Amino acid sequence: MTPVRVRSSALLLAVMAGSALAQDKPPGEAVIARNLAATCANCHGTAGVAKGEMKSLAGRKEDELLKLLADYRSGAQPATIMHQIVKGYTEDQLKLVVKHFAALPAAKP
């Protein structure tokens, strides 16, 4: 290789390494919320819009959803599976999920 080609390759590698390091930062709150909320899609639909008898989550008020989740956790709200699922999340994680769904457009009637 010629010296110019070596320098160009070294510069390219340095830029690529710097780019990879810049992307190695922790994900933002919105990404974490979206990833946590994705686990709800099987029952509550993609983007929180459910089909059939299941309740949609998109566009609902944060305090309403947090209360409902707390009731599932305590057993005050009867459920087939939600009482078990909600216990697998921390309060902070639930707040992120609720914030995510509240920010989405509500399901159309």
Q: What pLDDT shows up at residue 12?
A: 40
pLDDT digits (tens, 9 = 90+) for 56-99: 999 999 999 999 999 999 999 999 999 999 999 999 999 999 99
| pLDDT, the chain, mean | 82
What count of Cα atoms within 13 Å lies in the side-chain half-sphere of residue 105? 3
Q: What pLDDT shows up at residue 27?
A: 80
Class of domain 27-103: mainly alpha
**Global pTM?**
0.72
pLDDT digits (tens, 9 = 90+) for 28-49: 999 999 999 999 999 999 899 9
Residue 36 token pair: 């946590």
| Burial tier of 89 (Cβ tally within 10 Å: 0-12, 13-18, 19+) | middle
